[in-house]
Amino acid sequence: MFRDLIAGGGAKRLPTQRRTHYIHVKPEAKDSYDTEEAPDVGQVVHRSFALNQRFLLDLVRSNT
């Protein structure tokens, strides 16, 4: 899902936690100059993948 979106030039439109159930993308940049090259888009602020809080809470509750 994310690989196709990035490859298609959608690096600036990656889903936030509100738009997914399990994993999302969040900014991890130190400042606005902390960027990376993205296909067909150019420079974008450094981001990382994270698991959604609700998903983690549900996972822990179902295994305790």
What pLDDT is recorded for position 30?
Answer: 92
Q: Where are the domains of the chain?
A: 2-62
What pLDDT is recorded for position 12?
Answer: 80
Tokens of 25: 């993308």
* pTM, rounded to two decimals: 0.65
Per-residue pLDDT of the chain (64 residues), as tens digits, is 777 888 888 888 888 888 889 999 888 899 989 998 888 888 988 888 999 999 999 999 998 8
What pLDDT is recorded for position 38?
Answer: 86
